[in-house]
Structure 1
Amino acid sequence: MDNRDNDFGAFLAGFVIGALVGAATALILAPQSGPATRQQIVDMSSDLRHTADTQAREYRDKAGAIIADTRDRAQQLTEQVQDQVRIVLDAGKDQVEQAAENLNNGAAPDLG
Structure 2
Amino acid sequence: MKIKDLLEKRKQANKKAAKKKTAKSIAVGAGVGAAVGLTAGVLLAPKSGKETREDLAENAKVAAEKVAEGTKVAAEKVAEGTKKAAVLVKGKVAELKNKKVEEEPQEELENEVPEN
Partner of 2:88: 73
Partner of 2:10: none
Equivalent position to 1:54, from 59, 62, 69: 69
Q: Which has more radius of gyration? A: 1
Identity %: 10
TM-score (norm 1): 0.75
Partner of 2:40: 24
**Cα distance, 1:66–1:49 mapped onto 2, change above 3 Å:** same
* In 1: Cα distance, 2:78 partner to 2:24 partner: 14
Deviations 1:79-110 (A, max 9, x none): 110111112101101112223xx5xxxxx2xx
* In 1: Cα distance, 2:26 partner to 2:111 partner: 62
Letter in 2 for 1:89: E
TM-score (norm 2): 0.73
Structure 1 spans left out of the alignment, 5+ residues? 103-107
| Cα-Cα RMSD | 1.9
**Structure having greater relative contact order (Cα 8 Å, sep ≥ 6):** 2
Deviation at 1:20, TM superposition (A): 1.4
Give the count of matched residue pairs. Answer: 100
Moved over 2 A (4+): 1-12
Structure 2 spans left out of the alignment, 5+ residues? 1-15
* In 1: Cα distance, 2:85 partner to 2:23 partner: 23
